[in-house]
Amino acid sequence: MKKYLVEFIGTFFLVLTIGMTVIDPGAGNLAPLAIGAALMIMVYAGGHVSGGHYNPAVTIAVWLRGRCGTSDVPFYLIAQVLGASAAALLALQFKGCPTLTAGHPNVGHALIAEFVGTFALCYVVLNVATAKATAGNSNYGLAIGFTVTTMAFALGGISGGAFNPAVAVGITVMGLAAKANLWLYLVGNFAAAIVAALTFKFINPEDK
């Protein structure tokens, strides 16, 4: 139960940060830095309890890699989506319930951008937080947070920069993304998680 609560809390603060920094008046061009920092902080805060996923795609990648129990997966995903949804509603309240115009990205470009960004995140997580060769390092949270920051700066203008199905739900609830486009985040993110896990296992066959 503690693991699932940690996943709820971490995802909640990540999505709350997104809402507060992206919805006007927000942090402008510095929003990706704040979002990456929020993820880094939550990874350090809860990583020792739950693994600090805060992202259904990361959970799937870690599960496929063999470092997350099958029985935990659905509860992790539920906790993450609930945390994201609650944060989205609170952010809207804090911002005065504005009427937002949802983004309408080029679907093909957005799908590729979400795949690339999520692959980068999952691949980094698997290598810095689950690999035997990096066990015990104290920099994993920084690497994970800065991966999100980097991908948000690089690809956020193309897809909105979710790289996380729970975040995709959150930005949809807030009205930053159109409901009709939720599928592209889910497909791009989960496909990237699967490919990242397979890539890790191919490169590190001895790391069981």
Domain ranges within the chain, ordered by starting residue:
2-203
DSSP structure string for 175-208: TSB-GGGHHHHHHHHHHHHHHHHHHHHHH-TT--
Contact 190, 116 (CB under 8 A): no
Q: Which of 181, 174, 179, 180 is nearest to 159 (CA)?
A: 181
pLDDT, one tens digit per residue, over 23-52 is 999 999 999 999 999 999 999 999 999 999
Q: CA gyration radius for the chain?
A: 16
SS3 103: strand
pLDDT in the model for residue 208 = 82
Q: What is the pLDDT of residue 94?
A: 97
Q: Which pLDDT score is estimated for 42?
A: 98
3-state secondary structure (DSSP) of residue 55: coil
**Mean local confidence (pLDDT), 51-55:** 97
Is-contact 171 160, C-beta < 8 A? Answer: yes
In the chain, the N- to C-terminal Cα span, in Å, equals 26
Distance CA 133, CA 72 (A): 25
Looking at per-residue pLDDT, the higher value among 136 and 74 belongs to: 74
Q: Which long-range contacts (CB under 8 A, 24 or more apart) does 71-78 make?
A: 72/3, 75/3, 75/4, 76/3, 76/4, 76/7, 76/50, 77/166, 78/4
How confident is the model over 118-141, as a mean pLDDT? 95
Averaged pLDDT, 75-88: 98
Q: Which fold has domain 2-203?
A: Glycerol uptake facilitator protein (1.20.1080)
User: 189-202, pLDDT tens digit by residue?
Assistant: 999 999 999 999 99
Residue 103 is predicted with a pLDDT of 87
The average pLDDT across 50-79 equals 97
pTM of the shown model: 0.96
Q: What is the mean pLDDT of residues 7-21?
A: 98
Helix (H) or strand (E) holding 158: helix 140-159
pLDDT of 203 reads: 97
Number of other residues whose CB lies within 10 A of the CB of residue 30: 10
